[in-house]
Amino acid sequence: MNIFNKIVVVIILVFFILVSLLAIVNEFVGLFSWSDDVASRLFNPNTNINPYISTLALLMVITLCVFLLLLQFYRRRLKIAKIYNVDSGKAMITIDTVNQQIREAVLAINGVKGMKNTITSKSSGVVLNMFVEIGKDVNIPEKMDEIINRSVDVCKNKLNINVLDTKLTITNLVSESSEKAKKEVSAKKEEKGASFEKEKVEGTLTEENSGKQDMKTVSGQTVPVSEEDQEVVSQDDDTGKD
């Protein structure tokens, strides 16, 4: 939302808050009567509506407007983690960057088929929470140790981030046959797309070649060769062969 839209929304919300406060005060004091029929039915103290019910409704309107008003000035805080062993100043890194580094390192391990990870930043370090898909043929405890060690190594040795805890959950055991079938399907789709593009290019070249005409130079200008000229040239070629 740009600045102009924010200003308009803020003005509207402040207007509703002021009108609601004024209506609440008028419910009990009765300073004036509303000129509009709809407004007089809602806010006029002489009507049969219970003032406490209308006051409660107006308080809910004020609460909603204040909440929306606070949202206009709320800025989403960037999630970061502290990098240690930096002597020249205070260094930070975003959680998204750490997630990407861990994901690349873990997916490079043989037997890991997929991964989703979340990181919780604390004052003294981070907590890793990983959800991994691995192959059925691997040794699960050894592979889990390898994944945890790899992720912790990336955080401590590469990024200099303190790891407080690591949680690893195996979400699926993928067989080699299903993975191979997925690769074959994707390969067929790519091959089909490549053949379609090739046929399209060949068709375009054929149309361009069929649309071209032989040209000749007459008085310094290039003009298309007529059919009579092409017949004369072909007769001359046949005479030269004889």
**Among residues 50, 51, 63, 47, which one has the least CA distance to residue 24?**
51
Domain stop point among 55, 73, 91: 73
41 and 91 assigned to the same domain: no
Residue 55 lies in a domain: yes
User: What local confidence, expressed as pLDDT, does residue 71 receive?
Assistant: 83
- Look up the pTM and report it: 0.49
**Of how many residues is the chain composed?**
242
Q: Where a domain ends, among 135, 153, 177? A: 177
**Is residue 66 domain-shared with residue 97, that is, in the same domain?**
no
**Number of Cβ atoms within 10 Å of the Cβ of 133:** 16
Residue recorded with tokens 């062969």: 241
Residue 125: the pLDDT is 86
Q: Tell me whether residue 32 is in a domain.
A: yes
Check whether residue 85 and residue 170 sit in a common domain.
yes
Gap between the terminal Cα atoms of the chain: 85
**Tens digit of pLDDT per residue, the chain (242 long)?**
577 888 888 888 888 888 888 877 776 776 666 544 444 455 555 555 666 777 788 888 888 988 888 887 777 777 888 888 777 778 888 888 999 999 999 999 888 888 898 888 888 889 999 999 988 888 888 999 999 999 999 998 888 888 899 999 998 888 766 556 566 666 667 777 667 666 666 666 565 555 544 454 445 555 455 555 555 445 555 555 45
Q: Is residue 65 located within the same domain as residue 97?
A: no
Q: Cα–Cα distance between 39 and 225 in angstroms, integer?
A: 87
What are 216's two structure tokens?
Answer: 């000749």
Domains identified in the chain, total number = 2
3-state secondary structure 179-193: HHHHHHHHHHHHHHH
Same domain? For 123 and 143 the reply is: yes
Residue 125, domain member (yes or no):
yes
Does 108 lie in the same domain as 58?
no
**Residues 96 and 64 placed together within one structural domain of the fold:** no
Q: Is residue 112 part of a domain?
A: yes
Count of CB atoms within 10 A of residue 81's CB? 22
User: Does 84 share its domain with 113?
Assistant: yes
Q: Is residue 19 part of a domain?
A: yes
In a domain, 47, yes or no: yes
Task: Tell me if 20 sits within 8 A of 62, measured CB to CB.
Answer: yes
Of 97, 101, 94, 136, residue with least CA distance to 115: 101
In this structure, what CATH number is given to the domain that contains residue 153? 3.30.70.1350
Residues 104 and 27 in one domain: no
Q: What is the pLDDT of residue 205?
A: 57
- Residue 33 DSSP class: -
Q: Which domain, by its residues, includes 26?
A: 3-73
Q: Residue 199: inside a domain, yes or no?
A: no
How many other C-beta atoms are found inside a 10 Å radius of the C-beta of residue 162? 14
Say if residue 53 is in the same domain as residue 126.
Answer: no
User: Is residue 88 domain-shared with residue 62, that is, in the same domain?
Assistant: no
Based on the domain organization, do 84 and 69 belong to the same domain? no
Residue finishing a domain among 26, 55, 73? 73
Task: Answer yes or no: is 228 within a domain.
Answer: no
